[in-house]
A and B are shown apart, each in its own frame.
Chain A
Amino acid sequence: MAFFTEELEIKNERLGDLEPMSNLMNGARILLECLVRENVDCIFGYPGGVTLPLYDVLYDHPIRHVLVRHEENAAFAASGYAHATGKAGVCCATSGPGATNLTTGLVDAMMDSIPVVALTGQVTSKLIGTDAFQEADTFGITRSCTKHNFLVKDINELAQTIHEAFYIATTGRPGPVLVDITKDVLQGQAHYTPVHEIHLPGYKLVTEGHAGQIRRAAQMMWEARRPYVYAGGGIIAAGASGELQDLVETLDAPTVCTLMGLGGLPSSHPNFVSMPGMHGSYAANMGMYECDLLIALGVRFDDRVTGRLAAFAPHAKVIHVDIDPAEIGKNRAVDLPIVGDVKKVLTKLNRHLKEFAPTMQEERAADRAEWWQTVRNWKEEHPLQPVFSATEIKPQHLMYEIDRISGGKAIVASDVGQHQMWAAQFIRFDEPRLWVNSGGLGSMGYGLPSAMGAQMACPDKTVFAIVGDGGFQMALPELATLVNYGLNVKVIIMNNGYLGMVRQWQELFYNNRKSAVELSAFPNIEHLGAAYGIKSRIVHTPAELQAGLKEAMEENGPYLMDVRVSQYENVYPMVPAGGAINEMVLAPPQPVAVPK
């Protein structure tokens, strides 16, 4: 044995002689080397004792580090970055409190299948288990917050582990992966050898889709008289927008995109109905109810979409395409499952569909005309349209104006609450990766930091952060980050004076007893902006709204806008929790007068 190691040492020495540059480096540098090879250009993080070695090598390294003001926001920013690019977002935190602060962001990324790689420092391996200063069981705590996690205690495993983390985060069903690295690993020295291979024997990826099932799916689609496409975040994750568009055009099927799938089919596309679900449009939800074939693509039949399962799409056969086998049949029995990458599956499916298109399109023409007429009737009966008032700014009016500026092209990061639902209803997205929000977890405080991440990723795009007066205050410290990095984010606070979404539920289901929802003592935004050095403005009336937004757009840098909207507006339509999707509570009649 001793013989063997000696031999190795000699060999290494010789190699060292031959190479002009020694590849002996510390763990922190090996880590950065791996990040560069993963094409990471930006890390959102916050330093601390055990990550000092990492921050020392970051000091003069071209990878940009964005110093957020709270680790939760590092994870949210990484998620915003990933939303906007499809690449893994990277965040970093120290041991103990730094790592525990990341957890909400990790669960958020888990719920929405967003690729995030989190790097955390851990106390020196010798000290693990001794309740050392700032020791927390990060590996244990984040087990259920991540798609997978690692603890690295041996520097020789560092490079391989980092690359595995990126591989797991970005392939299959994307998700967060955390790598906890002890300080002695970051500090220790080792020879760096590039990693050429990832071997995860138990990581089962099914991407191709079963050929026979795909053929049968095409057949079912042509047989259906009222096909309906239900497209979700999987379309965005797989980059399958083009294939989706191709499919719905060939079939001429009405299509809904979920909260996570908005932009999967351009909102301006004639086949796009709108968003379905709890606050989906009347037409979108009625379509779900009446269709005879539900084509579910990259979705998970979330309860916020389906309402009471027994009453969801009761007349429909279901085709479900998803990369995660565990999603198939989880909530709704499926007639035809296809496990695979939705882009690959749709590519093949489109070929089969087109084979029969010349005859089938004609054969189905009458059915489609009738089906579309039904959908159009629903749209006319209860249109999803903004409401306006001459005296106060309706929240819907605000979204309408933002939509007008965006023209389907801006990145909109939203927080969680009523404003999120109105933004989803009224702002159009003509491309994927423009709509950034916390869907599955519904984490307040997400909007501002995720907008920062998206802005870092896409500096040339217009980026809005649409936040409530509640959620804004959860992310308040990040105003400093906006200034620090000159991030051109337009922060639009939809200020209704309340935790609006909770107030709405109290009004509708708890006799309007407004308990702990009033947000008194909201700071004066113009003073706050001045304190941070951010241009800002309070907008009270509809007349000021356009001018205010214009000013925001003209400002070359962050902008803060406090828009005072009518306080007691509710989001409609609404499927009450556990209700049937076709039994929506509709908006009471409102004056509709389109502003000049």
Chain B
Amino acid sequence: MLVTLSILLENKPGALMRVTGLLSQRGYNIESLTVARTLDPTLSRMTIVVDVETRLRPHLLKQMNRLINCLQANDLTEGPNVVRELVLLRVRAAQENRTAILKEAEIFGARVVDSSVEGFALEATGDGEKLDEFVAVMATYGEIEVTRSGAVAVSLEPKKLRLSPPVPKAQGEPAGTVK
């Protein structure tokens, strides 16, 4: 099944590799992955959609939480949340189609980000299914080129962030040998 994970990660070199490595090491295929800094620039927020056997779903979350660079991993597949994706699409449009395309774009709430004699560049956001439809509709007008961002998700319930507090370092014998 497709599982949506939201992961709060320390923004450190190699941290992303630990997340993707964990998934590939266990043979899970990543459907989409987005990552960007949070308000706190030392942290990043990732949304991953991954194909996992249902039975292994809780296990995957525990594995993620085991990563030392991972501050919190949540499963947002169910429960109150909003999942959105962005698509950027270029469509070649013959003169006679231009108005129809703009109409369709409006229905999907898409914005025109570029217009030229060859056609349009459009931008749309929404859930994956709506964007699938949008892309399918646009494909009927001519040659298209599509770039999708992958899902970004936010939970509508506050998720309590439990962080480990600092621990005092037990002091061993100082080296008497420093010269």
Contacts and interface: CB of A to CB of B under 8 A. Distances in A.
Given A33-B175, A36-B172, A163-B169, A144 B21 contact: yes
A202 B173 contact: no
Interface string B132-176: 000000000000000000000000000000111111110111110
Contacts of A198: 166-167, 169
B172 A197 contact: no
A199 interface: yes
B91 interface: no
A329 B58 contact: yes
B25 A144 contact: yes
Contact of B173 (A37, A143, A325, A326): A37
A326 B168 contact: no
A196 interface: yes
A329 B59 contact: yes
Contacts of B168: 196-197
Contacts of B72: 202
Between B25, B65, B168, B172, the greatest number of chain A beta carbons within 10 A of the residue's beta carbon is seen for B172
Contacts of B21: 143-144
B172 A37 contact: yes
Interface string A179-208: 000000000000000111111111111000
A592 interface: no
A589 B166 CA distance: 61
A74 B13 CA distance: 28
B162 A37 contact: no
A553 to B, nearest CB: 36
Contacts of A139: 14
B166 A148 contact: no
Nearest to A324: B66
A273 interface: no
A195 B10 CA distance: 21
B172 A201 contact: no
Contacts of B174: 33, 36-37, 194
A168 B69 CA distance: 12
A205 B65 CA distance: 11
A462 to B, nearest CB: 30
A373 to B, nearest CB: 39
A511 interface: no
Contacts of A197: 166-169
Contacts of A21: 178
B70 interface: yes
Contacts of A202: 10, 67-72, 163-164
Interface in B1-19: 10, 13-14, 17-18
A365 interface: no
Nearest to A325: B62
User: Which range holds the interface residue count of chain A?
Assistant: 35 or more
A201 B164 contact: yes
B81 interface: no
Interface residues of B, number: 34
Interface in A200-253: 200-205
A36 B14 contact: no
B24 to A, nearest CB: 9
B169 A203 contact: no
A204 B172 contact: no
Contacts of B173: 36-37, 39
A199 B168 CA distance: 9
Nearest to B60: A326
B177 interface: yes
A326 B10 contact: no
A561 to B, nearest CB: 40
A203 to B, nearest CB: 5
B115 interface: no
B169 A195 contact: yes
A326 B62 contact: yes
Interface in B21-39: 21, 25
Contacts of B97: none
Given A151-B13, A200-B164, A202-B164, A168 B178 contact: no
Interface string A138-175: 01100110011101000000000001000110000000
Interface string A59-83: 0011000000000000000000000
Given A32-B175, A36-B174, A202-B10, A326 B59 contact: yes
B13 to A, nearest CB: 7
Contacts of A404: none
Contacts of B14: 139-140, 143, 149, 151
Contacts of B58: 329
A202 B178 CA distance: 34
Nearest to B22: A144
Contacts of A325: 62, 65-66
Interface in A21-80: 21, 23, 25, 29, 32-33, 36-39, 61-62
A38 B65 CA distance: 27
Between A38, A202, A325, the greatest number of chain B beta carbons within 10 A of the residue's beta carbon is seen for A202
Contacts of A61: 177
Contacts of B69: 202
Contacts of A147: 68
A330 interface: yes
A29 B178 contact: yes
A372 B148 CA distance: 65
Contacts of B171: 37, 194, 196
A58 to B, nearest CB: 11
13 contacts: A33-B174, A38-B172, A139-B14, A167-B167, A167-B169, A196-B171, A197-B169, A199-B165, A201-B164, A203-B68, A326-B62, A326-B66, A330-B59
Interface of A: 21, 23, 25, 29, 32-33, 36-39, 61-62, 139-140, 143-144, 147-149, 151, 163, 167-168, 194-205, 324-326, 328-330
Given A144-B25, A194-B171, 10 more contacts: A23-B178, A37-B171, A37-B173, A39-B173, A140-B14, A167-B167, A196-B168, A199-B167, A324-B66, A329-B58
Interface of B: 10, 13-14, 17-18, 21, 25, 58-59, 62-63, 65-72, 162-169, 171-175, 177-178
